[in-house]
Structure 1
Amino acid sequence: MAVKEQVTGFAVAVVREDGRWRCGRLADAALTELDTAITELRKLRSTGAVFGLLAVDDEFFVIIRPTPGGASLLLSDAAAALDYDIAADVLDLLRADAPDDDDDVVWPAGDLEILADLGMPEAELEVIVNEVELYPDEQLQMIAERCGFSEQYTAVLDEL
């Protein structure tokens, strides 16, 4: 597997508690190390929803939602596992295979219902994932708008 040395992008933690949203930045290491991202999200103890949104190198995004037994995950493009360790780690946790090198099809891996309880039904998330002409940050912005935390999400991105 080819490993990119420098990864650009952003990692944002999203918390919904008592009907209110808040967003914060995750460490840059969360973009390359799935364990780091999950650990940081687990530290954000909340009685409500906690999840992370990672946009990596304008190539793909990952949604991470810690669960009592591990983490629920969505990788927007499984082919990213051929070039990025964090995407390969997501597939490992999902026990899913990476596509062949010659596959030009973008296909998601993981739980498309990951945000269903927060206003993002599986069918709508699938439509967003399949909008391949959009960059990952644009796709994540659409998710934030649909779920209702775009203001808090945009404020974090403006600080980057």
Structure 2
Amino acid sequence: MPTQSVEAAPDTREAALPGFAVAAIREEGKWRCVALDPVTLVDLDAAITALRSQRSTGAILGLLDVDDEFFVLLRPSPGGVRLMISDAGAALDYDVAADVLDLLRVELPPDEDVLDEPWPEGDLGILSDLGLPSDELEVLVGDLELWPDEQLDTIAGRCGFAGQLDEVVNS
């Protein structure tokens, strides 16, 4: 799945930020995907608000592929939002990643050498009820051969909405 560039709102970032932001919504056993505003790639609050505005009686999952460097999974819940970031080290360079760690109350380690490998953080069980157990998600995130968009495509395939995601990302 190729990455497409999106332009962030001028008040959040001066330059375009490649990637995609999609909401996957499951209702009555069927998935549909909708593109989210590109500002959600740079503003976690905007991403959470956009997901909460999607009305559904079933699961709602946000998928953010940020600059093809890392991805974020979000699931609104009555008590807040469940989050998972594929590489917490991205918080050194990306505000949205730093915001994820803030919400998770996680700090980066003082030794930057630790950050040479992907460091997933957050709720690795975020997709367990949708067909992807936490241990498999952890293995997928650690696969250095896959780009974040490919990891998200694999996640979508395991959960049953790969075709819908591909349609939205490539339209």
Give the TM bin, normalised by the shorter chain: over 0.9
Among all aligned residue pairs of Structure 1 and Structure 2, give the percentage whose two residues are the same amino acid: 60
Q: Distance in 1 between matches of 2:76 and 2:55?
A: 10
Distance change in 2, residues 1:102/1:6 (3 Å):
farther
Give, in angstroms, the shift of residue 5 of structure 1: 4.6
Note the residue ranges of structure 2 that are not aligned, 5 or more in a row: 1-12
Taking the TM superposition and a 5 Å limit, the aligned residue runs for 1:89-100 are 89-99=99-109, 100=111
Aligned to 1:15: 25
Aligned to 1:51: 61
TM-score between the two structures when normalised by the length of structure 2: 0.88
Alpha-carbon displacement from aligned partner over 1:3-61 (angstroms, at most 9, x marks no partner): 99542100010001100000010000000000000000000011100010000111000
SS at match of 2:113: coil
Aligned to 1:132: 144
In structure 2, give the amino acid aligned to 1:139: Q
Q: Which runs of 4+ in 1 moved over 6 A?
A: none
Alpha-carbon displacement from aligned partner over 1:126-159 (angstroms, at most 9, x marks no partner): 1110112211000000001111111111100111
Matched, 1:121 2:116: no
- When the two chains are superposed, the root-mean-square deviation of aligned CA atoms in Å is 1.4
